[in-house]
Amino acid sequence: MFVMNKFWEKFFYAFTYITQGSSYLSPRAYAVLHRMHHAYSDTEKDPHTPHHASNVFTMMWKTKAIYNNILSYKEVAEKRFTSNLPDWKFIENLGDSWYSRVGWGTFYVLFYIKFVPADMWYLFLLLPVHFLMGPVHGAIVNWSGHMYGYQNFDNNDKSRNSLAMDFLMMGELYQNNHHKLPNRVNFGVKWFEFDPTYPVIKVLDLLGIIKLKTVKA
Ligand SMILES: [Zn+2]
């Protein structure tokens, strides 16, 4: 959808590490997984389809296995999935280490202890979600986005738009639109579909941080 120079690529690599913290996902391995998902949507070779798994946990477990194989280069991904990928070994190794994951988790616990008022103790129940932010987000998008909702297009797969107004997953739940128009920056297509990430990307483009590619919608 867009390109950026090496400086901003490194900036966002590090920013991804800081914001994902305990549940850091490698941008390189994730990109390969995402390209596979588009190429094999809802078939046996799709790394995360709800249609070849009995429940959301077995789906995510299978995804985790494929992710780990790509991360450690055990599984050689097809050439067409590995071109033009960002790769920063230092952040990759740091983010995937147990020191880092447990360190971030400890930081979240200390943060809650410092800021959660005593009568709102139940907020601590959110900690597991906080530890696993990436997989929780992935599970919601990958499961719902190919299971529940409506279809604007026939994509020869089971992708759906789960919410007509997707503020929950910042536009990621417009899976049906996204599979039909994978290069379109705005995931919303119908007048009532608003993709909250779209204006953010537009502003980054206006500021010159990224450069949107011109593609036919
Ligand atoms: Zn999808």
In tens, the pLDDT along 49-99 reads 999 999 999 999 999 999 999 988 887 778 888 888 889 999 999 999 999
pLDDT for 118 beyond 70: yes
Q: What is the mean pLDDT of the chain?
A: 93
Q: Tell me, what's the pLDDT at 215?
A: 63
CA distance 116 to 161: 36
- If asked whether residues 62 and 131 sit together in one domain, one would say yes
21-34 burial string, b = 16+ CB within 10 Å, else e? Answer: bbbbbbbbbbbbbe
Angle at 23 between CA 20 and CA 42, to 5 degrees: 100
**Domain's final residue, options 122, 144, 166:** 144
**Cα 82 to averaged position of ligand 1 atoms, centre (Å):** 19
Range of the domain at 108: 22-144
**Cα 86 to averaged position of ligand 1 atoms, centre (Å):** 21
Q: What is the per-residue pLDDT across 169-206, written as a single tens digit (0 to 9) for each?
A: 999 999 999 999 999 999 999 999 999 999 999 999 99
> What percentage of the chain reaches a pLDDT higher than 90?
85
Asked whether residue 86 is assigned to any structural domain, the reply reads yes
pTM: 0.89
Q: Inter-axis angle of helices 98-115 and 89-96, to 10 degrees?
A: 60
Q: How is residue 171 written in tokens?
A: 């536009």
**Cα 143 to averaged position of ligand 1 atoms, centre (Å):** 9
- If asked whether residues 130 and 166 sit together in one domain, one would say no
The domain total for the chain is: 2
